[in-house]
Amino acid sequence: MSETPETPETPKLPPSPVEGALPAPPIESALPAPAGPAGLLPPNRFPAKPVHLPEPTYWPFFMGLGVAFIGWGLISFWLISIGGLVVFAIALRGWINILRHERQLNER
């Protein structure tokens, strides 16, 4: 007589609410507890708002428009690329000037 080796019993999972869905994980291993006393995060660990945001500007839009015209000119006519390069250069200079002046105002 040959004996079959015993296989350990697999735990039976509760039926899932939707057929074919994965079962919910056990509560103990779902998420780790947050650090700190009483489950609170340390103060000022993640500030709610950034210290300073730059003012909104249209220069990034014009820079993207210049890149689009450069690409369009590469597949059609070279003068469109030249126009796109001019728009790109003006937008880059304008955006850098705004950021530079903002930085100078914030340092005062």
d(CA 61, CA 88): 10
Count up the domains in the chain and report the number.
Answer: 1
**pLDDT tens-digit map of 76-85:** 999 999 999 9
Supply the pTM of this predicted model. Answer: 0.53
Whether 11 maps to a domain, the answer reads no
Whether 34 maps to a domain, the answer reads no
**pLDDT tens-digit map of 6-22:** 666 666 665 555 666 66
Q: Which two tokens stand for residue 6?
A: 């015993």
What residues of the chain score a pLDDT lower than 70?
Answer: 1-51, 108
Whether 107 maps to a domain, the answer reads no
Whether 16 maps to a domain, the answer reads no
- pLDDT (0 to 100) of residue 81: 97
d(CA 74, CA 56): 31
By the 10 Å C-beta count (0-12 exposed, 13-18 middle, 19+ buried), 25 is classed as exposed
- pLDDT (0 to 100) of residue 107: 73
Q: Which two tokens stand for residue 51?
A: 């210290």
- Which domain does 76 fall in, by range? 57-102
Whether 88 maps to a domain, the answer reads yes
| Residues 73, 80 contacting (CB under 8 angstroms) | yes
